Each structure stands twice: as C-alpha cells, then as structure tokens.
Amino acid sequence: MIQSKITLPDELQRFNPVTVIGAGTIGVSWTALFLAYGLTVRVNDPRPDVKEVVLNGIDQIKPTLKALGLPTEGLTNRLEIEPDLDRALQGAAVIQENGPERLEFKHELFSKIEKVVSKETLLLSSSSGIPSSEIAKGMKNPERLLIGHPFNPPHLVPLVEVVPGEHTKDQAVQDAITFYRALGKEPMVLEKEIPGFVANRLQSALFREAVNLVLEGVVSMEDLDRIVTNSIGLRWAVGGPFLTFHLGGGKGGLPAFLQHLGPNLQNGWKNLGNPNLDEANVQTLSNHAMNSYGNVPIEQLEKSRDQKQLSVLKMLKDQQSSR
Ligand SMILES: NC(=O)c1ccc[n+]([C@@H]2O[C@H](COP(=O)([O-])OP(=O)(O)OC[C@H]3O[C@@H](n4cnc5c(N)ncnc54)[C@H](O)[C@@H]3O)[C@@H](O)[C@H]2O)c1
C-alpha cells in the first residue's frame, strides 16, 4: 500500500490499522473519517458492489471532510477492501463493526472475530440499541468489546455513545474515549447498559408522538418537520431538555418549573399517542414522505443536511467559550 502525505497523529498511532466491518451508511462514513485522520482502513463486507459503494461514498463525503478542515487528498491510498473476514482482521488494532442490526449476526460475528484478533484489539460495535453484554454472550474474551454508537453521519455528528458491557474492562473504555476524541468526536460514556442507549431512546420517544400526530391528521409530515426545526430543534442544539426547562422556570429554575407546570406535564403524558407501525400505517407514512420529499434525490437531501449541520457546528464552536 502506498502511504499518502497525511500524517497519523501521535494519539492514533496505537489504534492503527482499523478494520471496518459492514460498508453501509455508517461503515462508509466511519471509513472516510478514519482515512481523513491518517488511519489505514481495511473494509470487510460481502456485498458484490462493495468497492464501488465505498469509493462513491467517500467521494460524496469529501466536501464535508474538507469543510471540517480535514485533508481529502490520497485518502484511498490507505484503504483496502478485503472480502475475506479472517484476512480483514489480521493485525487490526481496532474493529469498528457496522453490520446488520441483528443480535444473532453480531453475536456470531464477534465470536469469529475474537478467534483471529489479538487480545489487545479494541472491539467496537456501532449498534444503535443492542447492549454489548448481549453481543458478548458466549465470547471467551469480552473484556475489550463495547458499544461505540455514532449518530448518523458519524463523519459529521460529534456524539459517540460509549457503552461498556458487564465484562468490559475500564482500560477498553478509556481506549475508546481516547480513540474517538482523537477523531474529533464527543464520546459520552453511559453509566448503565440499556437497550437503545440514550440518544435513540429520546429520539424514539419524540418520533412516536410525531408519527401519532401525522397519522391523526393533526399536521402534515413536512409541517411537523418545520415545527421541530423552528423550535425544539433550534433550542436543543444549544441546551438540552433539562437546561431548556431550567430556563423555563424563570429565576426559580427547574424546581420552579416542575412546581408550576409539572402536574400538567404529567397529565399530558397520558394523552400521548401509541401508534402502530403496522402495514397500513407504514404505507400511509411512506406516501406522506414521498409526497413531501420524494421529488428530491436522497444525495441532494444529504448534501443539504450536511451543509446546514456544518454551519450549526461551526457557529457552536465559535460560541464554545461562552456559557
Ligand atoms: N443508519 C443509522 O442511522 C445508524 C446510526 C447509528 C448506528 N447504526 C448502526 O450501524 C449498524 C449499520 O447500520 P447501517 O444503517 O449502516 O446499515 P446498512 O444496511 O446501511 O449497512 C449494513 C452493511 O452490512 C453489510 N453486511 C451484511 N452482512 C455482513 C457480514 N456478514 N459481514 C460484513 N458486512 C455485512 C451489508 O452488506 C451492508 O453493507 C447497525 O448496527 C445500526 O444499528 C445505524
């Protein structure tokens, strides 16, 4: 492999090379970010068009990497596509797994992985909701397995939820934090394992009510999205739900807010919807989505999302020193 000019930062030396397993939405995004930070990346995915998918994906992500101030020249010089799992794992310092979200799949995969890699290899799964203790069942050496759950797209959104399992050693947690921080991410360690972790549970609670409101005909899908981006979406980019309501309580902060509005809030929880994602509702939601967004190619929507997201991130970075 020819080395490109990008130099690997000192803090990433011991995490090189990385094997990315699964080259879908998340795997390709991680791959592009890892390469931009100077890591050598081996990608493993059985899909026949894997090379095309990865190369096209990286090309599409390059403008965002550039806007983040990262190098984009010669990225693929350190990229290898290796369809054979055992060969893809040889010598890996880190595994970032992004295969299908099925427990049996991840279970079987990590049992195979531990037979090939060294005991020092950091084993990270991007799973959006499966605790690593579940994945680790039956593994002989689960001490270095944990969840490193990104938010889509990982090359851009800062959060990575770091979720150790019952057998994960502290050192592996520390290594995951160091690894993700060196990649410009904001790793957050959860104190307890819970299916869906934190960000997705919150997202899911809001999505449940969003689905309910659209199915009940209260608001169109597009208008609901606009309501969110013009209110809570804006707010939550600068302060989470607790800080928001701390400020909603005036001088008395959250205690005053809960005293004043808590009972009504709790009463309202009883009226929240509990929609079914059955065939008919999925069809209705799909029709709404196609009517609202179907006339714009996904790549264009992704590009527009990334540009706006970059502006928000840049603005927040500029404001970082003030609280
Ligand atoms: N899409 C998201 O928004 C998102 C966000 C965070 C985390 N995740 C998690 O990331 C993981 C991947 O999600 P995705 O959205 O990228 O899925 P995806 O369907 O886009 O990609 C999955 C990839 O895994 C590949 N694959 C299938 N069998 C494989 C095998 N045996 N070995 C290696 N690769 C195999 C598929 O060919 C496919 O390319 C999941 O665990 C998901 O929960 C997804």
pLDDT by 10s per residue, the chain, length 323: 444 467 899 999 999 999 999 999 999 999 999 999 999 999 999 999 999 999 999 999 999 999 999 999 999 999 999 999 999 999 999 999 999 999 999 999 999 999 999 999 999 999 999 999 999 998 999 999 999 999 999 999 999 999 999 999 999 999 999 999 999 999 999 999 999 999 999 999 999 999 999 999 999 999 999 999 999 999 999 999 999 999 999 999 999 999 999 999 999 999 999 999 999 999 999 999 999 999 999 999 999 999 999 999 999 988 876 55
| Shortest-distance Cα residue to atom 18 of ligand 1 | 24
Site residues for ligand 1, CB cut-off 6 Å: 21-27, 44-47, 98-101, 126-128, 149-150, 152
| Backbone φ and ψ of 147, nearest 5° | -90, 135
Tokens matching residue 71: 């190098």
Q: How many CB atoms lie within 10 A of CB 44?
A: 26
Ligand 1 centre to CA of 1 (Å) is 27
- Give the span between the Cα atoms of 40 and 126, in whole angstroms: 19
Residue with tokens 């997201």: 309
Q: Which among 228, 248, 226 has a CA at the least distance from the CA of 236?
A: 228
Closest atom of ligand 1 to 125 CA is 41
The pLDDT assigned to 1 comes to 44
pLDDT for the residue 3? 42
The pLDDT of residue 321 is 60
Q: Determine the pLDDT at residue 4.
A: 47
- C-alpha dist (Å) from residue 201 to 32, 128, 208: 27, 10, 10
Q: Reduced to 3 DSSP states, what percent helix, strand and coil does the chain have, rounded to the nearest 5?
A: 55, 10, 35
Atom of ligand 1 nearest to the CA of 25: 16
CA 57 to chain centre: 16
Helices within the chain (DSSP H only) = 25-36, 50-67, 85-89, 103-116, 132-136, 170-182, 199-215, 221-229, 232-236, 241-248, 253-269, 279-293, 298-318
Please state the φ and ψ torsions of residue 102, each to the nearest 5 degrees: -135, 130
Which domains, ranges and CATH numbers included, belong to the chain? 10-189 (3.40.50.720), 199-238+276-318 (1.10.1040.10)
**Mutational test site, ligand 1, from 98, 160, 207, max ligand atoms within 8 Å of CB:** 98
CA of 9 to the centre of ligand 1 (A): 28
Name every residue whose Cβ is closer than 8 Å to that of residue 59 and which is 6 or more positions away in sequence.
Answer: none
For the CA of 105, the nearest atom of ligand 1: 31
Q: How far is CA 185 from CA 42, 50, 126, 300, in A?
A: 21, 26, 14, 25
